[in-house]
Amino acid sequence: MKKLVVLQGILCILLCYFCIKIANTCMEESKPYQEDRTYEKVRILIRNQNTQEEDYRGKIRIKRTEDGREKINEVSLEEYLYGVVGSEMPSSYPEEALKAQAVCARSYAVCRMQNPASGQYDMDDTTSFQVYSPENETDAVRNAVDETKGEILSYEGMPAETFFFSTSCGLTTDANVFNQKGGEYPYIVSQAVGYGGNPNSKEDFTKEDVFRNYILGDSEDAFESGEKWFRWSTTVRLDQIEAEGLKKGSVKEVNVLDRGPGGVVSRLSVSDGKNMVEIEGEYRVRCLLAQAAGELSLNDGTETACASLLPSAYFIIENTEDENEVRICGGGYGHGAGMPQNAAKAMAEQGMDYREILAFFFEDTKLTTLG
């Protein structure tokens, strides 16, 4: 009997040990990175199904989920950037522009590693974070990453979240464009993106007449004045606008209510003549108008179909002879906060190095190296 009791006790101890071991293992698998983690490895959720697993550097980990399975690429931060820089900027761009992009991408990645998207991965490989595709790795990209190895922008000792976008209209805005408090990103300010003098404009582009005169005027001093997305226009059919709270086909009028720094539309009104709906935020404004937009006429004389978003929220609205149609005249491509990639290209072509480019767009930041 005593032997039986002893045996049962041993079995209970072993069972408890294995339960604790399993629980700890599960916790280790699901817990997010801690503050003291190093920045050697990054974990990327692969949503792009067109790239073969063998094309990825690092390791591919398969995680089963309720919806199927997830592929997570565990790769060094520097090798991750090989697949990012060429996906976010053409590898044919000047070396100094590619270096600036590499530092921006690295800085952004470090911020995301500090605040991972989940306990299993830091970011995915889409525009929700940074586009990541090994297929876009080239010698020029690898060189830009290697030449800036470990370098990030910091602000007051912390990694700076360095936003970037394709093309400006000649003006940028601040972080309020993301419906976030601009004070959280004091290094992202609205400024004029052009040659000569103080880059910070003294004009108040939040005023409708000031921005209208700018967007329709001569902007040859802007770095990107020769880019196809620098200026664009389209027409919008009012009866095709679908706004929540208004009957489909009933819209009679759209107006800009507010502009943010740099002239970006931050609030729009849509009316059927009796009822009015307000659309807030540059992203929602771009979504709303894109659904009813026609062909886009670009700065280089070409035309293209409008995507699911207007190119930017830097635009004015003009009436036409057709009461059911308005004309949109705008400029730039993207949200407009941080570094315009085509401006970085132009600045590099003018002889500026990547440090000067980054200092221009991210005020009071410092170039530091990861320890």
Same domain assignment for residues 175 and 257 = yes
Compute, in degrees rounded to 10, the torsion defined by CA atoms 257, 260, 263, 264: -80
DSSP 121-167: -SEESSTTS----GGG--HHHHHHHHHTTTEEEEETTEE----EESB
The answer to whether residue 142 sits within a structural domain is yes
In tens, the pLDDT along 85-134 reads 999 999 999 999 999 999 999 999 999 999 999 888 999 999 999 999 99
The answer to whether residue 352 sits within a structural domain is yes
The region of weakest confidence among 52-61, 249-258, 280-289 is: 52-61
Same domain assignment for residues 149 and 259 = no
Which amino acid, 317?
Answer: I
Same domain assignment for residues 175 and 304 = yes
Instruction: Indicate whether 19 pLDDT > 70.
Output: no
d(CA 85, CA 195): 26
With beta carbons less than 8 A apart as the criterion, state whether 286 and 312 touch.
yes
Same domain assignment for residues 102 and 142 = yes
Same domain assignment for residues 173 and 312 = yes
For 347, the 3-state DSSP assignment is helix
Same domain assignment for residues 227 and 331 = yes
Same domain assignment for residues 187 and 299 = yes
For 77, the 3-state DSSP assignment is helix
Same domain assignment for residues 280 and 304 = yes
In tens, the pLDDT along 163-212 reads 999 999 999 999 999 876 656 899 999 999 997 544 445 789 999 999 99
Question: Which of 146, 8, 134, 151 has the alpha carbon at shortest distance from 75?
Answer: 134
Residue 321 DSSP label? S
The answer to whether residue 6 sits within a structural domain is no
Place of tokens 């199904």: 49
How many Å is the Cα radius of gyration of the chain?
25
Same domain assignment for residues 268 and 364 = no
The answer to whether residue 5 sits within a structural domain is no
Same domain assignment for residues 293 and 188 = yes
The answer to whether residue 30 sits within a structural domain is no
The answer to whether residue 120 sits within a structural domain is yes
Provide the token pair at 336: 């407009």
The answer to whether residue 347 sits within a structural domain is yes
Same domain assignment for residues 202 and 324 = yes
The answer to whether residue 28 sits within a structural domain is no
Provide the token pair at 119: 């306990």
**Domain range for 116:** 41-162+338-369
d(CA 129, CA 163): 10
Sheet holding 325-330, edge to edge: 303-304, 296-298, 232-237, 325-330, 315-319
Tally of domains within the chain: 2
Question: Which of 102, 109, 105 has the alpha carbon at shortest distance from 44?
Answer: 109
Q: What is the pTM of this model?
A: 0.85
Same domain assignment for residues 290 and 344 = no
Query: Which pLDDT does position 182 carry in this prediction?
Result: 57
